[in-house]
A and B are shown apart, each in its own frame.
Chain A
């Protein structure tokens, strides 16, 4: 589904180019659950941003479903971005002024989903994550784990095929982290392609493939056998 060929990302500084990603070749098939690991600054987040079409400042080739991203028009890219990708952040990044319900609703609004359909989608999600009682609370009134659950619910509300998660458990303690990972596993079983970046090795065990990045290169690419 996703193919990267000779992908470079660099910053021009006064005397030299500083590479963040260098000569990256990567193929991701539909239904994979990939974990990106590596030390800080290895390029995990940068890779996720490029994959998620949030960053188009790179050299090399990126094709999604056989189509080259760079040759797409803005509108096409934007609709691809809306329909195919969901995002989860380390810092949750919920909109503080909106309630749980409204946060989950926001991506649906941008997708022009009808009001009745929105209601049913959100009701399902709230039900699934046991948050029906919390739907009118504001993010500040929730614990970190709960906020991240809202983040996940919001990310999958638009039924994306690819879920991108940048250190989704980085701010959570182990119990909460485990809960999120189990949700990921479930989504994966339903067919969602997941790409997560993490520092915690145990999170990789939930996935199917582990990629180690060091200094912008793929150091190791191994298959994880599910227990």
Chain B
């Protein structure tokens, strides 16, 4: 029986090659996207799920609340909490503390070798390994991290530092990390690296007790309850049965004891289940937001729904062709459940073939979208989960998409179906109604996607073409080592200027435009009182204006004196000074010191165009310079210059990684997230159009074939081809119009929201809405036109004769 079903299903497929092709291609696109998204979502949920007693492990977070809209959650805790938590709170079975280091320089003194900077180094207390046990290759797990200046390294580090050394022989070796301070420690243990996905990327665990003196504590920001540094991590393992709510409740006691209730900001602590860590803040910035994952899931589902709708649509439209078979089978003794089963089998076969094809498509998608996938994400086809996917998903999909057509088909009365009248439609028919609605849904989502993509693109082009107020072309920059000596920075700057290809070089705390922000308050004398202005501060040297091409409106540029500042136009506006010249030599108070305005610069966008230009003060503080930017002579071979600059950088900072980047690329990065959204939507858009077009192609070929007789009679009665085209197209024009109406509002709603995030934005471009509608209408008419044209061209005598 089953064999018979499969056989007839297969023959049906090969008989209607076009129909089968449309079905299979459409479905496989949907499935491949679902598969990819399923894997990404699964991957993102797979982090740190393997620790024993997972439900009882939490990371403690801190929330600083300064009133509505100003609450700042940080995935870190003040140092003292880590010291007292076990004493002041019941239910804590074990605590583990980390204090991560920011890119220290690692070296191996025995080999006189500098390894380079690593972001996988942290201080850790013995409790950390009790909560997160490891496999130990050497050393004593109990005592390894007890003494100061001990370090436990992973196998990966062992390979890197002491290549080829046996774990047991590496014990006692010395390592040095240079942060701001120099940390020396002896290897007391070697552990295996995790093989599962984990956010604990660390390979060097220096004993927490190495931080001994008050001075060290202050340096790491661990000394007071008022200081929360994102490096300071606290984990707890609770006694079984303790809930998140109970934990958060018992934190209140600790807060009450250690914080003054009259303080401005309210501090509170809350526990984060360790399995959620990947969606919060982790240690290599690879977190994914749940919102993004959800968005991705929705896009995937929409595409799948479209593909499924296609299937249902075409299948029910084809029903008439199958009616005869249903009639015969019923006459021969087939019962309805058997027929439903048969049609489901047929659907299942299509879904299975589509699934197989989709695995090929996944590879294409994966290459196309490799930039959007999580970095360490790899697609493995033969994992248990994926095998489950291959098995269950087609079953489910076949059931969902096949059940409606199967029920419709199997419901025909045999004696009427055999005469061909059981499916004649009189008045209102659910089938036709549904079919039209499904088509409308497909069109609306296509139109919606197109509108979104067009408008997003329009705005992105608008913001990237806006004048920024400075010259971003031919400017290269690089990041300086953290807390580098000012002399070395100046040395680098001088060496750079000597190069004839370079017009100028400037040291600064941040780039002319960047995501980093330093804000403060300035006080200027107005009449007898002082006026407070909320300002943005930039730390720059005298060459900054020249290198970045920022115009000077009045006064002179800076001469690297700490009591002189520059301000921008908006500062004057805020201060109520109309003529820039008036501001020169004006004294203002800022950062506790008296400063003198010596120049006024034009407004420029130092942040993204989402934000307004703030009143700006340019000051100088050479110790905190972090970047160096250079202005190139025009007409240089950029890649040669880049290599030469990096070589020079290496001469001054031999142990650092050197990389010079272009400022305009940095600016483009501001909108990277938007470009990403646009591209993902763009791809979704193309797929939606493709699937809808395929669906329409199949559907219209079918409905037009049904109307051949009508067309022929009309032709005999004297209708022209054009009139017939109009007749058939009218119906589809209506469908597109309805779809357009449905698509406009959701698209508008989303776009309005998105555009409101920009201070500098386009007016809602309604013409793009109309354009999208017209575009889809065009595609629709072309597809329908192709079919109806050939139908209208057939010789009516032929059609009517065979009737």
Contacts and interface: CB of A to CB of B under 8 A. Distances in A.
Interface string B1-36: 100100110011001000000000000000000000
Interface string B315-335: 000000000110111111111
B415 A95 contact: no
Nearest to B4: A109
Given A49-B415, A54-B415, A109-B4, A87 B12 contact: no
Contacts of A81: 333
Nearest to B330: A54
Nearest to B414: A54
Scoring A105, A110, A154 by chain B CB atoms within 10 A of each residue's CB, the highest score goes to: A110
Contacts of B395: none
Contacts of B7: 98, 102
B703 interface: no
Contacts of A97: 8, 11-12, 15, 325
Contact of B332 (A49, A91, A96, A154): A154
Scoring B8, B325, B415 by chain A CB atoms within 10 A of each residue's CB, the highest score goes to: B415
Given A98-B8, A102-B7, A106-B4, A55 B415 contact: yes
B418 A93 contact: yes
B515 interface: no
A109 B335 CA distance: 12
Contact of A111 (B331, B333, B418): B333
Contact of B8 (A91, A95, A111): A95
B795 interface: no
Interface in A64-99: 78, 81-82, 87, 89, 91, 93-98
B418 A89 contact: yes
A93 B415 contact: no
Nearest to B10: A97
Interface string B341-355: 000000000000000
B415 A102 contact: no
Interface in A98-114: 98, 102, 105-107, 109-111
Given A105-B4, A109-B1, A93 B327 contact: yes
Contacts of B258: none
Contacts of A109: 1, 4
Contacts of B413: 54-55
A158 interface: yes
A193 B333 CA distance: 19
Nearest to A48: B415
B338 interface: yes
A102 B325 CA distance: 14
Scoring B11, B327, B328 by chain A CB atoms within 10 A of each residue's CB, the highest score goes to: B328
B289 to A, nearest CB: 51
A107 B414 contact: no
Interface residues of A, number: 26
Contacts of A102: 4, 7
Contact of A78 (B8, B11, B329, B335): B335
A105 B332 CA distance: 10
A47 B619 CA distance: 104
A54 to B, nearest CB: 5
Contact of A110 (B15, B332, B414): B332
Contacts of A96: 325
In which size bucket is the chain B interface?
Answer: 20 to 34
Interface in B397-439: 413-415, 418
A110 B8 CA distance: 15
A87 B332 contact: yes
A97 B346 CA distance: 13
Contacts of A82: 333
A98 B330 CA distance: 16
A109 B1 CA distance: 6
Interface in B146-164: none
Contacts of B15: 97
B334 A110 contact: yes
Interface in A105-134: 105-107, 109-111
Nearest to A164: B331
A164 B4 CA distance: 26
A54 B331 contact: yes
Given A55-B415, A95-B325, A107 B8 contact: no
A106 B329 contact: yes
Contacts of B332: 87, 106-107, 110, 154
Contacts of A98: 4, 7-8, 11
B6 to A, nearest CB: 12
A158 B8 contact: no
A95 B327 CA distance: 10
Given A54-B414, A98-B8, A93 B324 contact: yes
Given A54-B415, A55-B415, A93 B328 contact: yes
A110 B324 contact: no
Contacts of A107: 332-333
Nearest to A92: B328
Interface in A44-71: 45, 49, 52, 54-55
Contacts of A45: 415
Nearest to B324: A93
Contacts of B329: 95, 106, 110
Contacts of B415: 45, 49, 54-55
Nearest to B325: A95
A224 B332 CA distance: 30
Contacts of B331: 52, 54, 87, 93
B2 to A, nearest CB: 10
B199 to A, nearest CB: 56
A45 B413 CA distance: 15
A95 B333 contact: no
Contacts of B334: 110
A175 B335 CA distance: 36
A98 B1 CA distance: 13
Contacts of B325: 95-97
Nearest to A50: B415
Scoring B15, B324, B332 by chain A CB atoms within 10 A of each residue's CB, the highest score goes to: B332
Interface of A: 45, 49, 52, 54-55, 78, 81-82, 87, 89, 91, 93-98, 102, 105-107, 109-111, 154, 158
Given A93-B327, A95-B328, A96-B325, 13 more contacts: A45-B415, A54-B414, A81-B333, A95-B329, A97-B11, A97-B12, A98-B4, A98-B7, A98-B8, A98-B11, A105-B4, A110-B332, A158-B333
21 contacts: A54-B413, A55-B415, A81-B333, A82-B333, A87-B331, A87-B332, A93-B327, A93-B328, A94-B328, A95-B329, A96-B325, A97-B11, A97-B12, A97-B325, A98-B11, A102-B4, A105-B4, A109-B1, A110-B333, A110-B338, A111-B333
